[in-house]
């Protein structure tokens, strides 16, 4: 038996036989058409585009209405296929440089993919795979080959490939695929996103998987830990079969919790909030009573120009409509750090996470900030909304943010545009300085939400993006729980609402401790809701409080984890 390690991007366990998949590849040579042959080459390219468009239409047609998000990936492929800039470059390469149709398609698409792949933003860089997917489709059609994909697998199997394009994963035979293992690919790639939404266990980035895992050979895929076991012995096979059963039973049981009330075993009510990036991924099944974090920067990130005030108002209106009367917490732009805006080139900074990020950037780009604040205020007539500033480090920051909000109100009032003048204004607590000044901050704002992702990185001076500092980024350290305790206490004393919207709120191991520290508002990604409700419903308030006291009195993160696991 041999063990390999990769990155688990979609959880689960599988035991089965390997099916090696070799995606379509072809050699494209630098070839040119004879003078006079340009129009025929252009016609061949245009035909290939039409046929590719028809294939994509068929793929989109296979998705059910619940799979709208997946279908969007292929709508994006259609948009790439008809992208004016790319189309014009291919047309000119054929007509003006006499390049053959396949050479022109390959060259232009490869250049566009390389441009996207070099983007500092991981989400934009991951879109290079979509352009390559479209290129392969066109080349296959130009080379006269039939569609070759994973839509009909011969037996229940673990698909092993060098890489899977989004279209491979989207059309995969879901009745027969047990798991996916590839040599390349990242957690934000569309293949990973699709695998998660189809609940197919997946491990990416297993070096030499196609060499090591033989076609038809037995394999265990543990996509909880990232381990792949080739040629497992009988004992290992039966152990993992049992683990798989237990995992599936546990997942099904956890699902039942989504629609149950969020409360402790002895009936203390807790509010569950939702974190969203835009209205696009709105969860169908609910299970939450407010939107605790609307990360508005995502509206700005996927476009080349800044959204106008009207466009933003419309986007916020849509989210309020989806929220259907539930309070929406709109966080103003949080750009900088790892997030960049194509429409706003920023100077390079040595330490961008310690630089001109979030509220600091908004205060430096006042027009941008005022435009967003006016849009947020205008949307307040459509439903309950509150405005939250990210990266507040001092009372001066908070006051400057509030002054900008007053200016935006005055601008709207001068034009007679309606808005709610009493929109609550709050802060993210994610810089330790404001956590220390929480009593003072609580006097000057209406609410707070703790961003534990950043709070942890600034508290421990450990970059949240850097795998080399992962062991220093101690979310479960007693230091984190003590600082949280201080923040919750300050806002409760002031009678002001406080929530947590960092990843910690969606972690079922942290939830009972946060509850015991007094937290009653947890905001998280939709997928985390059932497990957190389950964790909260399995403790009494007194048990959670005792656990929180023990955790705060501990010395180290490992002691805290032991206490939590002993309790669970």
Residues marked active site are found at 190, 501
Query: Residue 142 binds what, of ligand PEP, Mg ion, none (CB under 5 to 8 Å, by partner type)?
Result: none
Taking the complex as a whole, the smallest distance from the CB of residue 473 to ligand PEP amounts, in Å, to: 12
Give the separation between CA 38 and CA 101, rounded to whole angstroms.
9
Binders of Mg ion: how many residues, by CB under 5 A?
Answer: 3
242: CB partners within 8 A, 6+ apart:
none
Query: Residue 502 binds what, of Mg ion, ligand PEP, none (CB under 5 to 8 Å, by partner type)?
Result: ligand PEP
Helix (H) or strand (E) holding 299: helix 297-301
| Sheet (strand 157-161) strand order | 2-5, 227-230, 218-222, 13-20, 157-161, 177-182, 202-204, 7-10
Taking the complex as a whole, the smallest distance from the CB of residue 391 to Mg ion amounts, in Å, to: 7
CB-wise, 316 or 389, nearer to ligand PEP? 389
Taking the complex as a whole, the smallest distance from the CB of residue 428 to ligand PEP amounts, in Å, to: 7
Which residue blocks in 64-189 are alpha helix, DSSP H? 68-81, 84-95, 101-117, 122-125, 128-142, 166-170
User: Does 393 contact Mg ion by CB under 5 A?
Assistant: no
Query: Residue 501 binds what, of Mg ion, ligand PEP, none (CB under 5 to 8 Å, by partner type)?
Result: ligand PEP
CB-wise, 102 or 430, nearer to Mg ion? 430
Q: Provide the b/e sequence for 466-487 (b: ≥16 CB within 10 Å).
A: eeeeeeebbbbbbbbbebbbeb
Which range touches Mg ion (CB under 5 A), out of 203-211, 448-456, 463-471, 510-518? 448-456
- Inter-CA distances, 496 with 45, 223, 331, 427, Å: 63, 42, 18, 12
Go through the chain and tell me how many residues it has.
568
The structure tokens listed for 531 are 């497990």
**Between the CA atoms of 547, 552, 554 and 556, what dihedral angle is there, to the nearest 10 degrees?**
110
Considering Cα of 162, then 251, then 544, then 489, what sign does the dihedral take? positive
**132 touches 158 (CB < 8 A):** no
CB-wise, 453 or 540, nearer to ligand PEP? 453
Which range touches Mg ion (CB under 5 A), out of 82-90, 405-413, 428-436, 512-520? 428-436
Give the separation between CA 201 and CA 227, rounded to whole angstroms.
12
Taking the complex as a whole, the smallest distance from the CB of residue 397 to Mg ion amounts, in Å, to: 14
CB-wise, 205 or 336, nearer to ligand PEP? 336
Taking the complex as a whole, the smallest distance from the CB of residue 478 to ligand PEP amounts, in Å, to: 19
CB-wise, 56 or 519, nearer to ligand PEP? 519
Q: Quick one: which of 133, 454, 463, 507 contacts Mg ion (CB under 5 A)? A: 454
79: CB partners within 8 A, 6+ apart:
none
CA 243, chain centre distance (Å): 28
Nearest CA to 362 out of 391, 395, 387 is that of 391
**91 touches 42 (CB < 8 A):** yes
The structure tokens listed for 368 are 């941008």
Taking the complex as a whole, the smallest distance from the CB of residue 272 to ligand PEP amounts, in Å, to: 16
Query: Residue 295 binds what, of Mg ion, ligand PEP, none (CB under 5 to 8 Å, by partner type)?
Result: ligand PEP
Q: Which stretches does DSSP call E strand in 63-211?
A: 157-161, 177-182, 202-204
Which range touches Mg ion (CB under 5 A), out of 214-222, 254-262, 307-315, 424-432? 424-432
CB-wise, 237 or 346, nearer to Mg ion? 346
CB-wise, 213 or 480, nearer to ligand PEP? 480
**523 touches 543 (CB < 8 A):** no
- Residues binding ligand PEP (CB under 6 A): 293, 295, 334, 430, 451-454, 501-502
Residue with tokens 């905001």: 523
Taking the complex as a whole, the smallest distance from the CB of residue 329 to ligand PEP amounts, in Å, to: 11
Nearest CA to 438 out of 388, 502, 484 is that of 484
Query: Residue 222 binds what, of Mg ion, ligand PEP, none (CB under 5 to 8 Å, by partner type)?
Result: none
User: Does 168 contact Mg ion by CB under 5 A?
Assistant: no
String marking each residue 485-514 x if it binds Mg ion according to CB under 5 A: ------------------------------
Measure the CA angle with vertex 13, ends 248 and 210; round to 5°: 155
Taking the complex as a whole, the smallest distance from the CB of residue 295 to ligand PEP amounts, in Å, to: 5
Taking the complex as a whole, the smallest distance from the CB of residue 261 to Mg ion amounts, in Å, to: 29
Considering Cα of 103, then 107, then 109, then 110, what sign does the dihedral take? positive
Give the separation between CA 420 and CA 222, rounded to whole angstroms.
52
CB-wise, 205 or 426, nearer to ligand PEP? 426
Give the separation between CA 154 and CA 222, rounded to whole angstroms.
23
Taking the complex as a whole, the smallest distance from the CB of residue 122 to ligand PEP amounts, in Å, to: 14
Nearest CA to 182 out of 228, 147, 117 is that of 228
The structure tokens listed for 514 are 């946060």
CA 33, chain centre distance (Å): 45
Q: Is 345 helix (H, G, I), strand (E, B) or coil?
A: coil
User: Does 451 contact Mg ion by CB under 5 A?
Assistant: yes
Q: Which residues here bind Mg ion, judged by CB under 5 A? A: 430, 451, 454
């Amino acid at each position: 038996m041999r063990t390999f390690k990769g990155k688990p991007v979609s959880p689960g366990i599988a035991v089965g036989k390997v099916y090696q998949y070799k995606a379509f590849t072809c050699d494209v040579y630098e070839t040119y058409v004879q003078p006079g042959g340009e129009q025929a080459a252009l016609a061949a390219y245009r035909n290939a585009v039409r046929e590719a468009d028809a294939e994509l239409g068929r793929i989109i047609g296979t998705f059910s209405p619940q799979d709208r998000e997946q279908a969007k990936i292929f709508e994006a492929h259609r948009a790439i296929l008809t992208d004016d800039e790319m189309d014009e470059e291919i047309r000119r390469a054929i007509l003006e440089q006499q390049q053959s149709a396949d050479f022109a398609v390959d060259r232009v698409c490869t250049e566009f993919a390389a441009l996207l792949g070099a983007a500092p933003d991981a989400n934009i860089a991951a879109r290079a795979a979509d352009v390559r997917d479209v290129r392969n489709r066109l080349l296959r059609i130009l080379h006269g080959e039939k569609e070759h994909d994973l839509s009909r697998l011969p037996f229940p199997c673990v698909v092993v490939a060098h890489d899977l394009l989004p279209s491979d994963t989207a059309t995969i035979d879901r009745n027969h695929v047990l798991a996916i293992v590839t040599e390349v690919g990242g957690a934000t790639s569309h293949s990973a996103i699709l695998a998660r939404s189809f609940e197919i266990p997946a491990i990416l980035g297993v070096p030499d998987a196609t060499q090591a895992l033989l076609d038809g050979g037995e394999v265990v895929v543990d996509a909880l830990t990232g381990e792949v076991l080739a040629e497992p012995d009988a004992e290992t096979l039966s152990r993992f079969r049992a683990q798989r059963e237990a995992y599936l039973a546990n997942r099904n049981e956890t699902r039942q919790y989504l629609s149950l009330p969020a409360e402790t075993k002895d009936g203390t009510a807790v509010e569950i909030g939702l974190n969203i990036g835009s209205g696009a991924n709105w969860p169908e099944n609910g299970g939450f009573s407010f939107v605790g974090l609307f990360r508005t920067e995502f509206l700005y990130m996927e476009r080349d120009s800044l959204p106008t005030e009207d466009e933003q108002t419309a986007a916020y209106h849509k989210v309020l409509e989806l929220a259907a009367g539930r309070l929406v917490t709109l966080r103003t732009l949080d750009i900088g750090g790892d997030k960049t805006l194509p429409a706003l080139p920023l100077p390079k900074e040595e330490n961008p996470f310690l630089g001109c990020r979030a509220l600091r950037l908004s205060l430096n780009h006042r027009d941008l900030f005022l435009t967003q604040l006016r849009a947020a205020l205008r949307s307040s007539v459509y439903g309950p909304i509150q405005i939250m500033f990210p990266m507040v480090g001092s009372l001066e920051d908070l006051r400057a943010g509030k002054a900008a909000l007053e200016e935006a109100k005055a601008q709207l009032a001068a034009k007679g545009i309606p808005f709610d003048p009493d929109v609550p204004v709050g802060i993210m607590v994610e810089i330790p300085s404001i956590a220390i000044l929480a009593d003072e901050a609580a006097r000057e704002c209406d609410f707070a939400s703790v961003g534990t992702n950043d709070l942890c990185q600034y508290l421990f001076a450990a970059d949240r993006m850097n795998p080399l500092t992962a062991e220093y980024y101690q979310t479960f350290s007693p230091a984190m729980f003590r600082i949280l305790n201080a923040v919750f206490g300050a806002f409760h004393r002031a009678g002001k609402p406080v929530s947590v919207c960092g990843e910690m709120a969606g972690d079922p191991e942290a939830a009972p401790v946060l509850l015991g520290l007094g937290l009653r508002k947890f905001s998280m990604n939709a997928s985390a809701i059932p497990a957190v409700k389950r964790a909260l419903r399995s403790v009494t308030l007194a048990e959670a409080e005792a656990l929180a006291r023990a955790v705060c009195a501990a010395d180290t993160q490992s002691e805290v984890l032991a206490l939590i696991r002993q309790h669970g």
